[in-house]
Structure 1
Amino acid sequence: MTDGQDVRDNTITADVALAGGGLANGLIAWRLAQVRPDLKILIVEAGQTLGGNHTWSFHETDVTPDQHDWMAPFIVHRWNNQQVSFPERQRRLETGYRSITSERFDEVLRSAPNISVITGTPVDWLSNDVIGLTDERRIEAPLVIDGRGYYPSPHLQLGWQKFLGQHVRLEKPHGLDAPVIMDADIPQEGGYRFIYLLPFTDTEVLIEDTYYADDDALDTDALRRRIATYAQNRGWQIAEVIREEDGILPITLGGDIEAYWRDYVEAPPSGLRAALFHPVTGYSLPDAVRVADLIAAQPSLRSNDIVDAMRSYAIESWHSQRFYRLLNRMLFWAAKPTERYKVLQRFYGLSPRLIERFYAGQNTLGDKIRILAGKPPVPIHRALPCLAGRHPDGISPVTERA
């Protein structure tokens, strides 16, 4: 639909046009609609709904109180604490946890009077001020933002976080009173593996099988079998699979962010397309919230000005997160695949505030020293090359621009 937009022939005009209706573009649209109600904002999405089929979660401390306030309508589930479990460590953390569902995401965005939506129509091409749709319509806007997902590039060196989750209804209550962020006390197959649990009601829970691996192949049938086995081992009988989601998230090991941005010139990118995600977790919500605030605060909403602001933000973020890419190299290169869990098992023995700053991507120098202090959870002869930016086996050299 194009309610509120000017239409002539096959051309639609708007003040802001967003290609892709995922998390990053949706939050940009919502924040602009709040701050600038005079704007005509248009989101174009290839799928039938905004947000696809996802559950986005974040730690309460990942965003500021003001950001919590403006994104509150999206939040469906709230918990006051969270848990982790490893073979040699179980811990409960008093950090709040929040979740957004794609259904709520779509509903909230469509409720804004100055946000219009076109769904079921892929983008064919775009530039700084025009989006061409596959049905031959054109969208003209001074600001075009490209949020169509991860953009493959030779300038980024990656590992992968892969997952399949099932929102299930159980025959009897599951007994959980908080999310289990990582249950790694399970067989380690294909890399660091854990189960992620979100208890929605007494009998409904999201069971997600997640693992960090060197390749991006996703065997969904194998993950379904592993989820069924996990539920059985916990004594849970699945009465119904309500919904299923899967994904493959990039995890950065190194790269040249300036070269990445030089290669991408069509329009200002957002989210994964702008390489804006936590290097270790692959999650993009905290950056998406910050970028929405950044764009809403710009005096000029024209593509050339926004791309400059976005480039500066992305490059600054990349350089500030160099330490996290070092940790990824330790995880992927220094540890045996079946022993990668030891890196996270040790990490979860550190202070709660340090862990909160880690997920927010805001660790201090003291935090970094503390994380690396003591006996490493990986063989020292393999850890040292990673610290120097080299693969322990002499392959995959890391490019890191200071």
Structure 2
Amino acid sequence: MSDITIFGGGLAGGLIARALVARRPEIAVTVIEAGERLGGNHVWSFFDTDIAADDRWLVDDLVTYRWPAYDIAFPKLRRTIPQGYNSIESEQFDRVLRGELGARIVHGDADNVIHNGAVIDARGPGDLAHIDGGWQKFVGISFQFATPHGIERPTIMDATVEQIDGYRFVYVLPFGERELFVEDTYYSDTRNLDSDVLRARLIEYVAARGWDAQPGNRFESGVLPVIMAGDFEAYWRSTGDGAKAGMRAGLCHPTTGYSLPDAVRLASAIAKSDDLSADGLARLTHDHARRAWGQRGFYRLLDRMLFRAGLPAERYRVLQRFYGLPEPLIGRFYAGQSTLGDIMRTLSGKPPVPFWPAVRELFR
């Protein structure tokens, strides 16, 4: 049986290592991570319906916060959705995996480390020139309260804020009774991110709600692709022909950018595989990612409607209409498992953007 070396100890690489160590102890696993900590500096979140029951063991003890429901807010729609929501902080991810992997973790540049056997590359995106789309960019800050803030549930989208630079919403997670993690997010045509400006807007948002809070130590920012179209095979080849995981394999939800459900599914598939040779892993990861790409044309269509069928300041209307749909449909959407019925239901009726541009994107 071949040894397996994983380049990158982020979410995708770390979960693969965890699955292999737990389910395939006969295999020697090494994780090569360039940073000081596995997972970097992130908060990953997922809905209960995103992950199959048989795979929950991969993440259950990584979860730092759980809530039974969440809120959304739009100019003409406010709703509490009774679907479980979970968040993982990278500190917990690093702590748990470091305890399980121990000496299997090597810190350094993967290109300069000698390794044997098969390799799985999980070091982030390939060449995004092969992807057509917009950008989801965000800055998140933790805020500390002197007294309990009284907020019991996350607000996944507060789109009642001023619409700037495309579709804008604020994301609020109650991390304990005296801490909120607040994130300012934009679905933008450009990837330019001014962290200072977004930080100032977050402080204004908190003050406008009458919250007596001060910025804490957690700061997170990022820019993710919102995928409308692309050449999957060219993207795959842009980083070589070997096995890949995470964004290196193009595995993320095209609309939301959520990567955790895909990371769990691929880690589970690898741990169950009968062929963990270099060639076998290359085939498995390519075919898995290719299949996911092929199944997600509906989400890429919605992204084109979101970005190209209306004015940037009106993009929120697409999401406002979507969140008026039945709860199970919303859950399957986030899981990337929309049914044909879901697709028909989502696209039926008067579009929330100008009619003819919407039709053009529909038949594009």
Under a length normalisation based on structure 2, what TM-score does the superposition of the two structures give?
Answer: 0.97
Whole-angstrom CA distance in 2 between matches of 1:195 and 1:113: 36
1:35 paired residue among 20, 23, 44: 23
Whole-angstrom CA distance in 2 between matches of 1:88 and 1:163: 24
1:122 paired residue among 104, 109, 112: 109
CA separation of 1:70 and 1:21: change in aligned 2, threshold 3 A: closer
Under a length normalisation based on structure 1, what TM-score does the superposition of the two structures give?
Answer: 0.88
How many residues were matched structurally? 363
CA separation of 1:223 and 1:312: change in aligned 2, threshold 3 A: same
1:57 paired residue among 36, 45, 62: 45
2:74 paired residue among 61, 86, 99: 86
Post-superposition Cα deviations, 1:306-351, rounded to whole Å, max 9, x if no partner, equal 1111111111111110010000000011121111000000000000
3-state DSSP class of the match of 1:53? coil
- Output aligned runs, 1:191-206, within 5 Å: 191-206=166-181
Which position in structure 2 is the counterpart of 1:317? 292
1:67 paired residue among 48, 55, 59: 55
Q: Which amino acid aligns with 1:349?
A: G
Whole-angstrom CA distance in 1 between matches of 2:345 and 2:101: 49
Q: Which amino acid aligns with 2:217?
A: I
Which position in structure 1 is the counterpart of 2:217? 242
The answer to whether the 8 Å contact 1:167/1:242 transfers is yes
The answer to whether the 8 Å contact 1:57/1:99 transfers is yes
Whole-angstrom CA distance in 2 between matches of 1:237 and 1:339: 32
Q: Which amino acid aligns with 1:282?
A: G
Whole-angstrom CA distance in 1 between matches of 2:116 and 2:86: 34
Q: Which protein has the bigger helix share?
A: 2
Q: Which 4+ runs in 1 deviate beyond 3 A?
A: none
CA separation of 1:38 and 1:113: change in aligned 2, threshold 3 A: farther
3-state DSSP class of the match of 1:353? helix
3-state DSSP class of the match of 2:126? coil
Whole-angstrom CA distance in 2 between matches of 1:118 and 1:82: 39
1:327 paired residue among 302, 324, 331: 302
Which stretch of the first structure deviates more once superposed, 62-71 or 370-379?
A: 62-71
Once the two structures are TM-superposed, the CA of residue 162 in structure 1 deviates from its matched residue by: 0.5
Once the two structures are TM-superposed, the CA of residue 141 in structure 1 deviates from its matched residue by: 2.4
3-state DSSP class of the match of 2:171? strand
Q: Which amino acid aligns with 1:111?
A: G
Post-superposition Cα deviations, 1:160-203, rounded to whole Å, max 9, x if no partner, equal 11011011212333221111100001000001000001101111
Question: Percent identity over the alignment?
Answer: 46
1:159 paired residue among 122, 125, 134: 134
Q: Which amino acid aligns with 1:182?
A: M
The Cα RMSD (Å) is 1.4
CA separation of 1:256 and 1:240: change in aligned 2, threshold 3 A: closer
Once the two structures are TM-superposed, the CA of residue 261 in structure 1 deviates from its matched residue by: 2.2
3-state DSSP class of the match of 2:243? coil
Which position in structure 2 is the counterpart of 1:353? 328
Which position in structure 2 is the counterpart of 1:272? 247
Once the two structures are TM-superposed, the CA of residue 31 in structure 1 deviates from its matched residue by: 0.5
2:318 paired residue among 330, 340, 343: 343
Whole-angstrom CA distance in 2 between matches of 1:210 and 1:173: 25
Which position in structure 2 is the counterpart of 1:392? none
- Output aligned runs, 1:249-268, within 5 Å: 249-268=224-243
Once the two structures are TM-superposed, the CA of residue 266 in structure 1 deviates from its matched residue by: 5.0
The answer to whether the 8 Å contact 2:46/2:260 transfers is yes
Q: Which amino acid aligns with 1:104?
A: Q
1:223 aligns with 2:198: yes
Once the two structures are TM-superposed, the CA of residue 269 in structure 1 deviates from its matched residue by: 1.4
Once the two structures are TM-superposed, the CA of residue 374 in structure 1 deviates from its matched residue by: 0.7
- Output aligned runs, 1:355-370, within 5 Å: 355-370=330-345
3-state DSSP class of the match of 1:140? coil
Q: Which amino acid aligns with 1:94?
A: P
Which position in structure 2 is the counterpart of 1:7? none
Which position in structure 1 is the counterpart of 2:363? 388
1:292 paired residue among 267, 279, 282: 267
Post-superposition Cα deviations, 1:262-290, rounded to whole Å, max 9, x if no partner, equal 34325311101110000000111000000
Whole-angstrom CA distance in 2 between matches of 1:285 and 1:81: 19
1:283 aligns with 2:271: no
5+ long unaligned stretches in structure 2: none
Which position in structure 2 is the counterpart of 1:180? 155
Post-superposition Cα deviations, 1:71-110, rounded to whole Å, max 9, x if no partner, equal 2121111111111000100000000001111001111111
Once the two structures are TM-superposed, the CA of residue 45 in structure 1 deviates from its matched residue by: 1.1
3-state DSSP class of the match of 1:246? strand
Once the two structures are TM-superposed, the CA of residue 355 in structure 1 deviates from its matched residue by: 0.1
Q: Which amino acid aligns with 2:287?
A: S
Q: Which amino acid aligns with 1:141?
A: N
Once the two structures are TM-superposed, the CA of residue 38 in structure 1 deviates from its matched residue by: 2.5
3-state DSSP class of the match of 2:105? strand
Higher Cα Rg: structure 1 or 2? Answer: 1
3-state DSSP class of the match of 1:52? coil
